[in-house]
Each structure stands twice: as structure tokens, then as C-alpha cells.
Amino acid sequence: MARVFVYGTLKKGQPNYKHMISPSKGLAKFQGRGRTAEKYPVVITGKYNIPYMLNLPGKGYQIDGDIYTVDDQMLQFLDEFEGYPEMYQRTLMRIEVVEWEGKGGAGQDVVECFVYYKETYPPEWVSLPYHQGYDSQGKHGLRYVLPEHRD
Ligand code: PCA
């Protein structure tokens, strides 16, 4: 089992969440909510309004997201779905637990989780607006375009 922190379209309520709860893709167990221990920029960019966490620690916000434990099958599915290692890269990051599922408080807990992020990116992406808690339907108006709706 591996721990994964999702901050974008895979979060609860977001357009790709359905895959996290699809038994055919493997097992993902929701563990609670968290935020990155370090600040990072999350930007939304491109024709399909895709969110990316940029490899620029110290800039932006501590990013809100959901913590899962996943089995090998789900990790493999997520790697393929996120276009790893070309489109997203995957790294271990320290995540502060905000609330453990079913247990309430989290105290000072910090866990290491895999995160899909962007190791290298066009320099102009750094000047885009930063988002702390990604929402495809947010006021930014940059609605995510599902893979199955792209041309
Ligand atoms: N999917 C991954 C990375 C960004 C995205 O949209 C996630 O939700 O964490």
C-alpha cells in the first residue's frame, strides 16, 4: 500500500473523483484531509484547464487536498491516468493531516504521501494565479475539460 495526496481533479467532488471509487481500478481508501507542509504554487493552465502543482516550494499556499492509501493496482492506474512520467511527475511530500477520517482531530500529524506535480514547466506558468483549494467550478471560471471531452 502507498499513500497518495490528491489536490486537483481527483479530490472528492471534482471531475475525476469517480476513478478513486471505481473498484475496477483498484483500491483507494480515504484517510482524511490534509495540506502540504510546504507552500507550493497550484496553477490552472492550457486548453483543458488542467491544475498543476509546480515544483517551486516556498511559493504560493499550503495546498489543501485529500489523503488516500492505495493498492498497487490503483497506483498503477493513477500513474497512467496522470500521464506519469511525462505529463505529471510523482514525488513524496510531507503532508500535514487536517482531519483523520472517522477520528476527528489530527493534532500535529505529518505523513509522507505521493503527489502528482510538475517538475519542470514553462517559466510563464509561475505568473498565473495560484489556487489553494482547487475547485473546477470555482470563481476563476476555468472549468476542467474531461479527457473524454477533448479534441
Ligand atoms: N489530478 C491530480 C493532480 C492534479 C490533478 O488534477 C490530483 O488531483 O492530485
Please indicate whether residue 34, judged by its CB atom, sits closer than 6 Å to ligand 1.
Answer: no
**Do 108 and 61 form a contact (C-beta atoms < 8 A)?**
no
| Nearest protein CA to atom 5 of ligand 1, as residue | 8
Q: Say yes or no: CB of residue 54 within 6 Å of ligand 1.
A: no
pLDDT of residue 106: 72
Q: Enter the pTM of the model.
A: 0.97
Residues 39 and 132: their CA atoms lie apart, in Å, by 9
Q: 13 exposed, middle or buried (CB, 10 Å; 0-12, 13-18, 19+)?
A: exposed
Domains of the chain, with CATH numbers? 2-136 (3.10.490.10)
Which single residue is written with the C-alpha cell 499556499?
61
Query: Which one of 82, 86, 96, 148 is the catalytic residue?
Result: 82
99 pLDDT above the threshold of 90: yes
With a cut of 80, say whether residue 71 has pLDDT above it.
yes
Q: What pLDDT score does 107 carry?
A: 74
Q: Which of 35, 55, 116 maximizes ligand 1 atoms within 8 Å of its Cβ, making it the mutation to test the pocket?
A: 116
For residue 105, give the C-alpha cell: 482531530
**82 labelled catalytic:** yes
Q: Is 46 helix (H, G, I), strand (E, B) or coil?
A: coil
Which are the contacts of 122, defined by CB distance < 8 A and separation ≥ 6? none
